Amino acid sequence: MQVQASISQYYHADKGFHPSEEDFAILEGAARIKKATTREHRKPTPAELPMLDEAAKLYSRPGAGELRDLFVGGLFIVGVLLIVYRGFLPNEDLVLNFAGVFAMGVALFHMPWGEHRSWIDEALRPLFKRLPWELDVPSVHYVCALLLFICLGYVCFWCGTATLDLPGDPGPKGKGRSLSPGEKSRLRWAYRGCGIFMASSVVLGPFFSHIPNIRSKHAKVLLIEFFGMIGFAAYWVLKTWEISTTGADRLAAQRKLEIELSKSLFKGHKVRLSDTAQPSPQGQHHLEDPG
Per-residue pLDDT tens digits for 136-191: 667 899 889 989 989 999 999 999 999 999 888 887 777 788 999 999 999 999 99
**236-268: per-residue pLDDT in tens?**
999 999 999 999 988 888 888 888 887 766 677
Exposed / middle / buried, residue 129 (Cβ in 10 Å: 0-12, 13-18, 19+)? exposed
Question: Domain span at residue 174?
Answer: 8-17+61-288
Other C-beta atoms within 10 Å of 217: how many? 12
Other C-beta atoms within 10 Å of 112: how many? 18
Of 187, 189, 195, give the one whose Cα is nearest residue 232: 195
**Within-domain flag for 196:** yes
> What residues have CB less than 8 Å from 48, skipping those under 6 apart?
33, 37
**Within-domain flag for 50:** no
What was the pLDDT predicted at 190? Answer: 95
**Within-domain flag for 120:** yes
Q: Between these two residues, 208 and 28, which has the higher pLDDT value?
A: 28
**Within-domain flag for 252:** yes
Angle between helices 90-108 and 68-84 (to 10 degrees): 160
Inter-residue contact 98 to 69 (CB < 8 Å): no
**185-222: per-residue pLDDT in tens?**
999 999 999 998 888 876 666 565 555 544 455 677 78
**Within-domain flag for 37:** no
Q: How many domains does the chain have?
A: 1
Ramachandran assignment for 247, one of left (phi > 0), alpha (psi -120 to 50 degrees), beta (any other): left
**Within-domain flag for 45:** no
**Within-domain flag for 197:** yes
Of 137, 64, 77, give the one whose Cα is nearest residue 106: 77
